Amino acid sequence: MRDKVHIENLQVETAIGPDSWNQINPQQCYLSMEMLTDFSKAAEHDDLTHTLNYAVICREVGKFVGSRTDWGSLGNLSKSVTKFVMSNFPGVDSLKLKLQTRTGHIRSDDISCVIEENRRRDEEINTLRYDLLCISNLKLLTLIGVFPFERLQKQYVTLDLKLPWPKQVVRHATVRSAIERVVEHVEHSKFLTVEALAESVAKIISSDSYFAQYTDFPIDVKVIKLNAITATSGVGVSCVRSVNELRHLKKPLILPDVDEYEFAKEKSEVIPHHGLNVAPSDTWNTAYLAFGSNVGDRLQNIRTAIDLLNQRKTIRVKCMSSLFESEPMYFKDQESFLNGCLKIQTSLSPHELLVCCKEIEYDELKRVKKFDNGPRTIDLDIILFLNGAGEPVMIDDEKLTVPHKRLLERSFVLEPLCELIPPNFVHPLTAEPLIDHLNKLSKKGNDEDRLFNLVPVGSSGSTVNFLKFQNVTEEGIFGSTLGRGSKVATLVMAIVNTTPDSFSDSGELYCDLDKQLSCVKEICSQTLRLHEKLIIDVGGCSTRPNSPQPSEEEELRRVIPTIQAIKSCPDLPSDKVIISVDTYRSNVAQKAINAGASIVNDISGGSFDSSMFSVIAANPNVAYVLSHTRGDIATMAKLTNYEESQNGKLSEYISDKICKTSETATTRIIGRELAERYFAAVNNGVARWQIIMDPGIGFAKNGDQNLQIIRQLPLLKSFSCTWENGEHVSFRNLPWLVGPSRKKFIGKITKEENPSDRDFATGAVITASIGFGADIVRVHNAKDCAKAVKVADALYKQLP
């Protein structure tokens, strides 16, 4: 049995060296003792004879302390009292003694010595090789904090220091010297983090000559910011470092003043970046750039700037965001902007990268800056910068501020940036996820925060044509909390098959160009009464499962004349009719583009023809529908097993508002497979802003899975994942096409064998799809389905 007797804060008064005013006067001290003993017999007999009598100990210790008028130091008195108790009270097996003074130094109201001593040396007693000199509640005023407002004035911090005192050594570290060294260092320094401050204080203390021979002894530093979080009395950190560790530790970089930056630049020295080093030239940093243009051919300006960045040996453009059109901020009387973000790797420092961006703006693209926030050919801003270790670099000088000081007030920067980063990526200064900052902006509902997502679809002369989407976070659509609906009208894609074996129309338009053109005219006449734009999707190769595939030459004979006829027809409004080609062959896609197609609709997602992505990349004004499927035309119907598998190569980001049920498992697996195809596309030069996603209704999916995908479309639209190599894919803001028209699963539900009888039910499915977030619906009966789309838009998107 191990028992303890406690004496708490026994008051004794004596001189222990200089007081707060450096005078030798008696000081009130507080003595606490924890004595290990065995009082089992005293408890059994209820008799003090067999235990430590704390009253006697208090009296005798008091007499002992009063036997001298000056003990010289707190440490000497502590050691002396310890020796007295252990010598005069044999019932004390071990002793933990704390002797405290509250008047030992004007900066601290709690200086104490903690000593542990014992009689036994067996394994039951864990005796440290050192005692402790403790300096607590050391209150200092310093400049510290990562928030910009924190850097406007100093704030209070408290430090608790525990300094080792070897047991066989009479003298401990000098209290006054330690406090003065720490005060001088902290109050004349500037830090971003308490972590850097704590470690820096430990290093300052360890440099005292007293610790020269005690290199393996630890120094313990605790730092508390008193006013950091108003709902607490303080927040902070503590660290324990050996003297030897601290000697080999680089001194933490301290935030310099502007004049220190200027002095460093004049001497051509390396400028510190707020506590984090930029990677050396043989490694690669990561930077995020925002771009914007509102003068001339905006998209061409952006593409030229990206090409110029890629031409630098010190820069690699890794990925691009979607394209966004935004109204000008600050100065309103100018054209709307095309905006977006880039993720790059660079061996340049932030300031060197800034110089490179300005060269592209002013020297290469001839930007003329008449005033701040005015029109510009191109604007390249450094938004974030991460060093080679992935740590954020923070800069605030007269040349550059990183993170960008206006990042959190600009949706046209935050929105594209959030496409390129994982959802858990936090702002280096606010320590909040950037997606949370974006959501706060979205909730404000300001007109200047309204963005339109643009997808290029060909050009008219020098003007690029775009499909326009406005993705916004919506709640309540069919109970979904992840639905990303659109305040822009849903687009209708009308199917025009030129095949003899079309499952839906029995090949009525095959090899009859007049019939085809007449059909297109009728579709346009009926549909454009309700919609501003219409997509005509021309297909010459049936893609139903197990269907025979024509040769490439035959497919070309079927689709190219049709596309040319539609493109050249004077009765069709060219500004409202967009031509798409439904093909998985790259050569057909290229010839269709030459003939006038502005969209390539590829059911294979580039998996049937490895050259498809190269064709799309070579035609940057053409949109690409990237669809999900498995296998090929002959095997896809058998590949419907979507069992959940453990994939250690990527991390998924799924909202906690969606449960991981068996139904969502299928959709998540489809999301992963689509992410792989997306990644392949962008790695082969396809721009993100060219891509339209398609979950592939009816391809390598059974009826229940088709319904699940439509229900889970919000999950697909919000899906993102990160591979082990750090590459991130997000479907955020990508437009989605859904093509359920006349599919077999609808016929099974309605018991209709004839595909053309399924148009009414198709209208119900596309209405639901729009409610779940579809941006484009692909249909056979455009005339009637266009009406269903119009009603669905009025219901879910609040359009007139």
C-beta separation of 737 from 778 below 8 A: yes
Percent of the chain with pLDDT over 90: 56
Taking phi over 0 as left and psi of -120 to 50 as alpha, with beta for the rest, 39 belongs to alpha
pLDDT band at 645 (very low <50, low <70, confident <90, very high): low
Sequence-distant (6+) residues with CB within 8 A of 615 are 586, 589, 590, 593, 600
C-beta separation of 636 from 701 below 8 A: no
pLDDT in tens, 221-243: 999 998 777 788 889 999 999 98
Measured between alpha carbons, how far is 342 from 357 in angstroms, rounded to an integer? 12
Please give the model's pTM, rounded to 2 decimal places: 0.70
What backbone torsions phi and psi does residue 654 show, to the nearest 5 degrees? -115, 135
pLDDT at 374: 57
pLDDT at 102: 93
Sequence-distant (6+) residues with CB within 8 A of 540 are 497, 498, 499, 550, 554, 555, 556, 557, 558, 559, 562, 582, 583, 588
Percent of the chain with pLDDT over 70: 85
Cβ–Cβ contacts within 10 Å for residue 500, how many?
14
Q: Report, as an integer, the average pLDDT of 82-98.
A: 94
pLDDT at 51: 82
Measured between alpha carbons, how far is 724 from 649 in angstroms, rounded to an integer? 5
Q: Report, as an integer, the average pLDDT of 770-779.
A: 95
Q: Report, as an integer, the average pLDDT of 164-190.
A: 88
CB burial of residue 607 (10 Å; 0-12, 13-18, 19+)? buried
Q: Of the given ranges (122-126, 638-642, 644-648, 757-761), which has the lowest mean pLDDT?
A: 122-126
User: Does 276 have pLDDT greater than 60?
Assistant: no
Q: Which CATH class is domain 486-796?
A: alpha beta
pLDDT at 458: 87
Q: Of the given ranges (28-42, 661-675, 727-741), which has the lowest mean pLDDT?
A: 661-675
Measured between alpha carbons, how far is 210 from 401 in angstroms, rounded to an integer? 42
Residue from 107, 241, 298, 376 carrying the catalytic annotation: 376
Q: Report, as an integer, the average pLDDT of 573-584.
A: 95
Segments of the chain assigned to CATH 3.30.1130.10 = 1-127, 130-255
301 alpha carbon, distance to own chain's centre: 28
Measured between alpha carbons, how far is 455 from 578 in angstroms, rounded to an integer? 12
Q: Report, as an integer, the average pLDDT of 661-671.
A: 80
pLDDT at 684: 95
pLDDT in tens, 526-549: 999 999 999 999 999 888 788 889
Q: Of the given ranges (122-131, 389-398, 593-602, 765-774), which has the lowest mean pLDDT?
A: 122-131
Residue from 298, 367, 558, 778 carrying the catalytic annotation: 367
Measured between alpha carbons, how far is 139 from 232 in angstroms, rounded to an integer? 17
User: Within 421-483, where are the H helices?
Assistant: 434-444
CATH architecture of residue range(s) 1-127:
2-Layer Sandwich (3.30)
Sequence-distant (6+) residues with CB within 8 A of 133 are 75, 111, 112, 113, 162, 163, 164, 165, 172, 173, 175
C-beta separation of 336 from 703 below 8 A: no
pLDDT in tens, 310-341: 999 999 999 999 999 987 765 555 678 899 99
Segments of the chain assigned to CATH 3.20.20.20 = 486-796
Buried-state track 289-328, b at ≥16 Cβ within 10 A, e below 16: bbbbbbbebbbebbebbbebbeebeebebbbbbbbbbbbb
User: Does 87 have pLDDT greater than 70?
Assistant: yes
Higher pLDDT, 126 or 204: 204
Mean pLDDT estimate for the chain = 85
CA distances to 8, 15, 27, 181, 272 from 103, in Å: 19, 11, 7, 19, 41
pLDDT band at 662 (very low <50, low <70, confident <90, very high): low
Q: Report, as an integer, the average pLDDT of 277-300.
A: 79
Which is nearest to 668 in space by CA: 702, 638, 708, 632? 708
pLDDT band at 274 (very low <50, low <70, confident <90, very high): very low
C-beta separation of 21 from 75 below 8 A: no
C-beta separation of 510 from 554 below 8 A: no
pLDDT band at 188 (very low <50, low <70, confident <90, very high): confident
pLDDT at 259: 36
Measured between alpha carbons, how far is 599 from 581 in angstroms, rounded to an integer? 6
Q: Radius of gyration (Cα) for the chain, nearest Å?
A: 37
Q: Is the bond preceding 561 in cis, omega lying within 30 degrees of 0?
A: no
User: Does 263 have pLDDT greater than 70?
Assistant: no
CA distances to 675, 772, 773, 788 from 530, in Å: 35, 21, 20, 11
Residue from 93, 160, 220, 381 carrying the catalytic annotation: 381
Most confident region among 7-21, 268-282, 775-789 by mean pLDDT: 775-789
What backbone torsions phi and psi does residue 357 show, to the nearest 5 degrees? -65, -40
User: Does 499 have pLDDT greater than 60?
Assistant: yes
What backbone torsions phi and psi does residue 144 show, to the nearest 5 degrees? -150, 145
Q: Does the active-site annotation cover 367?
A: yes
Q: Which CATH class is domain 130-255?
A: alpha beta
Q: How many CA atoms lie within 13 A of 193 on its CB side?
A: 16
Q: Does the active-site annotation cover 19?
A: no
pLDDT at 68: 93
C-beta separation of 158 from 137 below 8 A: yes
CB burial of residue 467 (10 Å; 0-12, 13-18, 19+)? buried
Cβ–Cβ contacts within 10 Å for residue 718, how many?
23
Q: Of the given ranges (170-184, 436-450, 560-574), which has the lowest mean pLDDT?
A: 436-450
Residue from 160, 379, 397, 505 carrying the catalytic annotation: 379
Taking phi over 0 as left and psi of -120 to 50 as alpha, with beta for the rest, 492 belongs to beta
User: Does 282 have pLDDT greater than 50?
Assistant: yes
Which is nearest to 321 in space by CA: 339, 340, 302, 338? 340
Q: Report, as an integer, the average pLDDT of 573-599.
A: 96
Measured between alpha carbons, how far is 139 from 156 in angstroms, rounded to an integer? 7
Measured between alpha carbons, how far is 543 from 555 in angstroms, rounded to an integer? 12
Secondary-structure percent of the chain, ordered helix, strand, coil, rounded to 5: 35, 25, 40
pLDDT at 223: 95
Q: Does the active-site annotation cover 450?
A: no
pLDDT at 654: 58
State the residue for tokens 């510009």: 376
Q: Does the active-site annotation cover 381?
A: yes
Q: Which two tokens stand for residue 283?
A: 């490694």
User: Does 160 have pLDDT greater than 60?
Assistant: yes
pLDDT in tens, 397-435: 888 989 898 888 888 899 999 999 998 888 887 778 898
Measured between alpha carbons, how far is 27 from 29 in angstroms, rounded to an integer? 6
Give me the CATH code for the 272-449 domain, please: 3.30.70.560
Q: Distance from first CA to last CA of the chain, Å, rounded?
A: 84
Which is nearest to 544 in space by CA: 491, 499, 600? 499
667 alpha carbon, distance to own chain's centre: 23
Q: Of the given ranges (265-274, 502-511, 512-521, 665-674), which has the lowest mean pLDDT?
A: 265-274
